Structure 1
Amino acid sequence: MKIVGWLVRILPFAYMVIIWNLSSMPDDAVIELPSSSFDRFVKESLHLVEFAILYILFVFAFLTTDRFTVKSNLFCLVIAGIYGIIDEIHQSFVPYRSATIIDGVKDITGVSVAYYFVYQAYFKNRFTRFAKLLKAFKEVFL
């Protein structure tokens, strides 16, 4: 189980590399949906999800170490949020990509919403199914 734990700890960094590489390409390099307005809507919505996933991966990484505390949870929030901003800055230098303040706000909003649910579930015992999932994940590695 130690190997799986290390893989879970490496996952957020691998995901960051994937984000960086995808941000280095034109926005239609991987997929372009038939309707341009729907394509734009989906890709703009992904800002909310993309960095929330990064935050969750950091949470899972901390859960494998038994060091998931209120402070480390806040650390996960800050790192995912800052990486969202860094990614927007990076995109501003990539031809055929754009970076806007609203994109950064969407990145941080997605991370903040995920943070709220994790914090409430894990530390305040709300959202009981989600809390059980997080605690069961932790127990697997301890």
Structure 2
Amino acid sequence: MNILKWVLRGLPFAYMVAIFIMSSLPADHFVKLPDSQVDHTIKESLHLIEFAILYVLLVLAMLTRRNAFTPALNIACAVFAGLYGISDEIHQSFYAYRSASWFDLVKDFTGISVCFYFIRGALFKEKFTRLGKVLERV
């Protein structure tokens, strides 16, 4: 269990490095679908989950610290994920083959907010009891 705890604590940092690297590369560096409209739609929709995943990884990392996860720390995880989303958009603005937009930030914050709603409900509002049980076992 000790190894899992350290893996969960390291995942947010590894994921942030991966986001930074991928933001430095052209959007079609890894995958380019034959239909350019489908390719564009899928890649744009990834903004809804990209920083939501970061928020969830941060929560999981914090949950490894027994009895230390509070509503304030939950908010801090969401804010940090949002700030990293902002920094990612700024980072992308320095590359001619990437773009940065306010709409991308709205998608980033929407994904974070949806996950925040469920995690807050599961851990602090006695909703989503199955999710709460899973999170409490971390």
Cα distance in 1, alignment partners of residues 52 and 37 from structure 2: 24
Q: Which residue of 1 aligns with 2:2?
A: 2
Q: Which residue of 1 aligns with 2:136?
A: 135
Q: Which residue of 1 aligns with 2:88?
A: 87
Displacement, 1:59?
Answer: 0.3
Deviations 1:37-70 (A, max 9, x none): 1111111110010000000000000100121110
Cα distance in 2, alignment partners of residues 54 and 33 from structure 1: 25
Cα distance in 2, alignment partners of residues 21 and 54 from structure 1: 15
Could you tell me whether the CA contact under 8 Å between 1:26 and 1:95 is conserved in 2?
Answer: no
Deviations 1:86-124 (A, max 9, x none): 000100001210000100111111111111110011111
Cα distance in 1, alignment partners of residues 5 and 137 from structure 2: 14
Q: As a proportion of its length, which structure holds more helix?
A: 1
Q: Which residue of 1 aligns with 2:105?
A: 104
Q: Does 1:53 align with 2:53?
A: yes
| Structure 2: runs of 5 or more not aligned | none
Q: Which runs of 4+ in 1 moved over 4 A?
A: none
Equivalent position amino acid for 1:44 in 2:
E
State percent identity of aligned pairs.
55
Q: Which residue of 1 aligns with 2:122?
A: 121
Q: Does 1:29 align with 2:29?
A: yes
Query: TM-score, structure 1 length as denominator?
Result: 0.93
Secondary structure of the corresponding residue to residue 98 of structure 2: coil
Cα distance in 1, alignment partners of residues 111 and 85 from structure 2: 10
Displacement, 1:136?
Answer: 1.9
Displacement, 1:129?
Answer: 1.5
Could you tell me whether the CA contact under 8 Å between 1:9 and 1:60 is conserved in 2?
Answer: yes
Query: TM-score, structure 2 length as denominator?
Result: 0.96
Cα distance in 1, alignment partners of residues 8 and 135 from structure 2: 14
